[in-house]
Amino acid sequence: MGSMFSSPQFTKEQMEITLTKAKQIVSSNPVVVFSKTYCGYCTRVKQLLSQLGATFKVIELDQESDGDEVQQALLEWTRQRTVPNVFIGGEHVGGCDSVLEKHQQGKLLPMLKDAAAIPNNPAKV
């Protein structure tokens, strides 16, 4: 018996290393999208960020050798198991639904600007 998040596949030590790695990626990029290549919700989020001109880092978990571990680490960290799992300015935003909702509320662009994922004062041309 372990915590509700324990996973028989991974040791506690492995999970700590993987969680540290995930946190390092999140803290060193304005926007991070943990994604899967075949996931339509992920495609939608990546499309939107591209349309908004944002710089973002994508990690396709289905193409990473430790993708399952990273997904487990994200679950322990964010309580979210599904992809996309999106972070802006080091803050957990959530999945596709959350990102689209923030956009509809007019909150996404300011968040992206605050995180320097898009220029705050774009030069007039």
Ligand X SMILES: N[C@@H](CCC(=O)N[C@@H](CS)C(=O)NCC(=O)O)C(=O)O
Q: Does 36 bind ligand X (CB under 6 A)?
A: yes
Query: Is 15 near ligand X (CB under 6 A)?
Result: no
CB of 44 to ligand X, least distance (A): 8
From 73, 84, 112, 117, residue interacting with ligand X (rule: CB under 6 A):
84
- Using CB under 6 A, count the residues that bind ligand X: 9
Using CB under 6 A as the binding rule, whether residue 30 contacts ligand X is answered as no
Tokens describing residue 4: 């509700």
Tokens of residue 107, six digits:
């909150």
Smaller CB separation from ligand X, 105 or 120: 105
Q: Which is nearer to ligand X, 14 or 82 (CB)?
A: 82
Applying CB under 6 A, the residues found at the interface with ligand X are 36, 39, 41, 82-84, 95-97
